[in-house]
Amino acid sequence: MQIDSKNLKNKVRDEFKRRFKKEPMMVHAPGRINLIGDHTDYNLGFVLPAAIDRGITLALANNGSDCCSLVSLDMGEEISVNLNEELRPINTGWANYILGVMQGLRSRGLELIGFDAVFGGDIPIGSGLSSSAALECAAVLGISRLMGNEISNRDMIHIAQKAEHDFAGVKCGIMDQFASVMGKSNQAIRLDCKSLQYEYLPIELEDCSFVLLDTKVSHSLGDSEYNKRRAECMEGIAIINRKYPQAESLREVSMEMLDNSKSEMSDKIFQRCLFVLEENSRVIRAGNYLKSGLSKEFGQLMFSSHEGLSRLYDVSCQELDLLVEEAKKLDPIYGARMMGGGFGGCTLNLIARRGKEDSISQLRSSFIKAFCREPGIYEINIEDGARLI
């Protein structure tokens, strides 16, 4: 069971003090939304995420031993780690994100000494809001600071990403960890995933807001499909690269290059590549629209993004598709799309404030009518990235 967001810090700190009888250091790392640009990060393209006001809060303190106690409040579990032994993935899922981070810090020459940690969160788990990156980023910030080491933001992001690759087995791109570390209040981040150059773009939410509709379909089965999509893109680029050796990732591929390679690839591989090229172009256009405020044009790109994710990239599901189709019928909704890896989780809806309540209630009724159960509904604000609190 997850805990209420307002009380998150107090609950985590109180539980730490109750168990370990001392005052802990406190850190918080947020989850994220992605306004547009999914499955483009690992193809070294563009994304437009923003950190949100839900995240993971971690309390930790040194214990003077060579063991660590790690406690998950939400899972009601505790594990013990002996620092004299090699760190490797274990059967306790949540612990792997922290163990992966510890291993990442160690392999960069940081000597780990014993500490205790308690954490909890208010991000719906497995809903595409990147609770996993929030956990990794809270761990990397907290543990490195506790060990007296101020590592750079870039190192934190890479250690967090590698923890997910090596200890959770998800070959994710860089977006989630980047957003969780670098997020800024009321700003989206337009990130070039090849150069890691980025630009903050203000999000003015005066006359509209972002609302998430959660299908509560767990995307956990999607992890293997996610890795499969990544492999399919690699297959595509390998074919294109035979004709165009300068193209090392889909980022460097133009529509013309893809068309000229079409006859050498299966329809499926062509569609995957086509989606990535189109999605990159949408992110660029969406960023330009965003500079003059959130608009219907921006929303239209969200709808097209969903269409591509569903039809070409095949990472949607019937619950997500229904929510987006219903959103299209409602005038106050500028745009809606599935978000994150896919196969479940949330749709992100950009809704004009006038008529917002009615629109949400209509989406909810349509969802209940189709699937006989309640969707989750979360309003979110754009917040700062990982920080000491």
Residue pair 220/341 in contact (Cβ under 8 Å)? The answer is no
Question: Is the Cβ of residue 132 or residue 280 nearer to Mg ion in the bound state?
Answer: 132
Residue matched to tokens 């406690």: 71
Q: Establish if 130 lies at the interface with ligand ADP (CB under 6 A).
A: yes
- Facing residues of 335 across strands? 350
The DSSP element (H or E) to which 319 belongs, if any, is: helix 318-328
Q: Establish if 94 lies at the interface with ligand ADP (CB under 6 A).
A: yes
Angle between helices 296-307 and 318-328 (to 10 degrees): 150
Question: Is the Cβ of residue 169 or residue 202 nearer to ligand ADP in the bound state?
Answer: 169
Q: Which stretch binds ligand ADP (CB under 6 A): 61-69, 123-131, 310-318, 360-368?
A: 123-131
Three-state DSSP class for residue 79 = strand
Question: Is the Cβ of residue 93 or residue 114 nearer to ligand ADP in the bound state?
Answer: 93
By a kind-dependent CB cut-off of 5 to 8 A, residue 104 interacts, out of ligand ADP, Mg ion, none, with none
Residue pair 17/24 in contact (Cβ under 8 Å)? The answer is yes
CA 253 from centre of chain: 25
Which residue pairs from 6-11 have beta carbons closer than 8 angstroms and sit at least 24 positions apart in sequence? 8/57, 8/120, 8/121, 8/122, 9/57, 9/389, 11/73, 11/120
Q: Establish if 135 lies at the interface with ligand ADP (CB under 6 A).
A: yes
Q: Establish if 161 lies at the interface with ligand ADP (CB under 6 A).
A: no
The nearest distance, CB 105 to ligand ADP, in angstroms, is: 19
* Spatial CA neighbour of 179 closest among 212, 140, 130: 130
Residue matched to tokens 């000229």: 260
Q: Establish if 129 lies at the interface with ligand ADP (CB under 6 A).
A: yes
Looking at residues 339 to 358 of the shown chain, list those that interact with ligand ADP (rule: CB under 6 A).
Answer: 340
The nearest distance, CB 168 to ligand ADP, in angstroms, is: 7
Looking at residues 217 to 256 of the shown chain, list those that interact with ligand ADP (rule: CB under 6 A).
Answer: 220
CA 373 from centre of chain: 25
The nearest distance, CB 136 to Mg ion, in angstroms, is: 9
Both tokens of 345, joined, read: 């989780």
By a kind-dependent CB cut-off of 5 to 8 A, residue 128 interacts, out of ligand ADP, Mg ion, none, with ligand ADP
Question: Is the Cβ of residue 34 or residue 271 nearer to ligand ADP in the bound state?
Answer: 34
**Per rule CB under 5 A, count of chain residues that contact Mg ion:** 2
Of these, 131, 144, 280, 349, which contacts ligand ADP (CB under 6 A)? 131
Q: Establish if 96 lies at the interface with Mg ion (CB under 5 A).
A: no
The nearest distance, CB 41 to ligand ADP, in angstroms, is: 14
Q: Establish if 127 lies at the interface with Mg ion (CB under 5 A).
A: no
**Per rule CB under 6 A, count of chain residues that contact ligand ADP:** 19
By a kind-dependent CB cut-off of 5 to 8 A, residue 218 interacts, out of Mg ion, ligand ADP, none, with none
Catalytic residue among 41, 176, 214, 321: 176
Both tokens of 10, joined, read: 């107090």
Residue matched to tokens 């591929």: 253
Q: Establish if 30 lies at the interface with ligand ADP (CB under 6 A).
A: no
Question: Is the Cβ of residue 125 or residue 205 nearer to ligand ADP in the bound state?
Answer: 125
The nearest distance, CB 126 to Mg ion, in angstroms, is: 8
Residue pair 156/386 in contact (Cβ under 8 Å)? The answer is yes
Both tokens of 55, joined, read: 């995240």
The region, left, alpha or beta by phi > 0 then psi within -120 to 50, assigned to residue 384 is beta
Please return the burial class of 291, using the count of CB atoms within 10 Å of its CB with bins 0-12, 13-18 and 19+.
Answer: exposed
Give me the phi and psi of 378, to 5 degrees please. -130, 130
Q: Does 176 participate in catalysis according to the annotation? A: yes
Q: Establish if 132 lies at the interface with Mg ion (CB under 5 A).
A: yes
How far is 339 from 341, CA to CA, in rounded Å?
7
How far is 62 from 68, CA to CA, in rounded Å?
9
Question: Is the Cβ of residue 335 or residue 340 nearer to ligand ADP in the bound state?
Answer: 340
Site string (38-67) toward ligand ADP, x via CB under 6 A:
------------------x-----------
Residues that bind Mg ion (CB under 5 A): 130, 132
Give me the active site residues, please.
Answer: 176
Residues that bind ligand ADP (CB under 6 A): 56, 72, 74-75, 93-94, 120-121, 125-132, 135, 220, 340
